[in-house]
Amino acid sequence: MRIIDNIPNSWCEPWKIKTIEHISLSTREEREAALEAAGWNTFLLPSRLVFIDLLTDSGTNAMSDEQWAAIMTGDEAYAGSKDFERLEAVVQEVYGYKHLIPTHQGRGAEHILSQTLIRKGQYVPGNMYFTTTKFHQEYAGGIFEDVIVDEAFDPNLEFPFKGNIDIDKLDALVKRVGPEQIAYVSLETNVNMCGGQPISMANARALHEYCSKRGILVMLDATRAVENCYFIKTREPGYADKSIADILHELCGYTDGCTISGKKDCLVNIGGFLALRDDKLALRARELLVAFEGLQTYGGMAGRDMGAMAVGILESLHYDYIRARVEQVAYLGKRLDSFGVPIVRPYGGHAIYLNAKQILPHVPQEKYPAQRIAGELYLEAGVRSMERGIVSAGRDHDGNEYKPALELVRLTLPRRVYTQSHLDVVSEACARVCKRADSINGLKMVHEPGSLRFFQARFEPLGVPAPGAKKAMAAASR
Ligand code: F0G
């Protein structure tokens, strides 16, 4: 017998599978017809024709037996549900905010927060935009200003905290417009649009110091805060021995409130909330809540959903769980790396992002290369992904398309749903698409909704690129 010296010490999921849902691969002809009918928009594909669904990690979580038990014992009282009390206690303990304002999902909380805090013409600086967050800030009359660090815009740069706020950029804005013209600073954890990249605790602390001196509020988008805390634990000096719960508590401590889409970190399929420290703000927010969402003790959620969320939040804090979650994403990243597929570095917390500019250098951004790759990946293996580039960015007030530095395709992993073999299939499909990149052209947009266009826009494929197009484009961009 000869056993190797360096035996690996692998992680594995701290759960086993009790219920399964069948999936099957459609034929190439079925997928071609489905993609055409969907106008090359993966949001418009029927899920029954998707094999492996990496569209989003939102609401696609598998719940535990204990969460299903909470569903069965949910209290559906219109007022004063026991599950509100249960969720309120968990939110107060885990996140440390006094007031829980439950909403139907994250954007419901963003709506209430924006309407509560933003006066017309005020600025809302943030670490890159998120689509619905920015929509609600602008809908309330605010002006979004990106103050993320420059490192975020380079997909190939290995930098541990690409989500950080650049305090100098923030300071320049504050000096330009005055602190009273800042509605609040919007601080997102594991920044979605730049590749699921975390913020550091040092950055949150520095931001808190800067803002509290000037009377500026900091509002956390804690949608993926637990995943962010895993990166703090594994990357930031001084946090290796702290629990995820302690790290999360400290992080929230530097902020005045948070919005959360419970459909991610909280391990449920629907729900969200706004949480606030200040009594007066909470009073104002609750007035809007009863008009737009529902009574203050359910907002937008059924009693059972609040119960399942309370259990999910506690489960999400277990180290073995969060390690398996984030390391599964890294597993997909490593497989793609081994094939040479260009992806955003470092690996994100909830998703791996393909770098479309590098995969299709011959397709200009206004021909939607990332949207096209998402379509090709579906044709290749029934894998559903999502564009996060020029289509998602939309247009400015003058009607010009924003041209974001990052043109990405997001492969998003639902929590506790897929196995490593699913990810083997996904990574091989990506490699095959990249292998035939020379023959792939862009898309033409044929239907464009006025806002949040990526959800419902429709496209038609452009023909095979002319021979030599790739070389000419590469030469032009040099
Ligand atoms: N904030 C972030 C960072 C998000 O990623 C999302 C949703 C929201 C807020 C809004 O929450 O969907 O519950 O209303 N992100 C989903 C995604 C849609 O696919 O990334 P919601």
**Per-residue pLDDT tens for 61-89?**
999 999 999 999 999 999 999 999 999 99
Alpha-carbon distance of 119 to 129, in angstroms, equals 19
Q: 272 in ligand 1 pocket by Cβ < 6 Å?
A: yes
Ligand 1: which of 113, 191, 261 to mutate, judged by most atoms within 8 Å of the beta carbon? 261
27 is catalytic: no
Nearest residue to 453 via CA among 142, 223, 221, 135:
135
| Set 134, 224, 233, 264: catalytic member | 264
Q: Is the CB of 189 under 6 A from ligand 1?
A: no
Domain ranges of the chain: 28-50+323-477, 65-316
Q: Tell me if 48 sits within 8 A of 285, measured CB to CB.
A: no
pLDDT at 474 over 60: no
pLDDT of residue 478 exceeding 50, the answer is: no
- What residue's CA is closest to ligand 1, atom 21? 106
- What is the tens place of the pLDDT at every residue in 256-284? 999 999 999 999 999 999 999 999 999 99
78 is a catalytic site residue = yes
* Cβ-Cβ contacts under 8 Å for 100 (sequence gap 6 or more): 84, 87, 88, 91, 92, 273, 275
Q: What's the average model confidence in pLDDT over 146-162? A: 97
What does the buried/exposed string (b/e) look like for 128-140 if buried means 16 or more CB atoms within 10 Å of the residue's CB? Answer: bbbbbbbbbbbeb
Span from the CA of 106 to the centroid of ligand 1 (angstroms)? 6
| pLDDT confidence tier of residue 7, bands split at 50, 70 and 90 | very high
pLDDT value at residue 473: 61
Mutate to test the pocket of ligand 1, among 132, 292, 352 (most ligand atoms within 8 A of CB): 132
pLDDT score of 93 more than 70? yes
- What number does the ligand 1 atom closest to the CA of 188 have? 3
442-473 pLDDT tens trace: 999 999 999 899 999 999 999 888 776 666 66
Nearest to 225 by CA among 207, 210, 247: 247
What's the predicted TM-score (pTM) here? 0.95
Q: Is 5 a catalytic residue?
A: no
- The 10s digit of each residue's pLDDT in 372-405 is 999 999 999 999 999 999 999 999 989 999 999 9
For residue 464, the model assigns a pLDDT of 85
Q: What is the reported pLDDT for 466?
A: 74
Q: 109 vs 100, 221, 226, 276, 285, CA distance in Å? A: 11, 10, 19, 11, 9
56 in active site: no
Largest CA distance in the chain: 75
Q: What pLDDT was estimated at residue 465?
A: 83
Dist. CA 261 → ligand 1 center (Å)? 6
> What's the pLDDT tens digit per position in 168-178?
999 999 999 99
**How large is the average pLDDT for residues 318-324?**
98
Instruction: Please give the distance, rounded to the nearest whole angstrom, from the Cα atom of residue 131 to the centre of ligand 1.
Output: 8
User: Does the Cβ of 188 fall within 6 Å of ligand 1?
Assistant: yes
C-alpha 59 to ligand 1 mean position (Å):
10
Q: Is 120 a catalytic residue?
A: no
The third-level CATH classification (topology) of the domain covering 65-316 is: Aspartate Aminotransferase; domain 2 (3.40.640)
Q: How far apart are CA 68 and CA 142, in angstroms?
A: 40
Q: Is the pLDDT of residue 475 over 80?
A: no
Q: How far apart are CA 298 and CA 243, in angstroms?
A: 31
Measure the CA–CA gap between 114 and 137, rounded to whole angstroms: 5
Cis preceding-peptide flag for 346 (omega within 30 of 0)? yes
Q: How far is CA 367 from the centre of its chain?
A: 24
Q: Per CATH, which fold does 28-50+323-477 belong to? A: Aspartate Aminotransferase, domain 1 (3.90.1150)
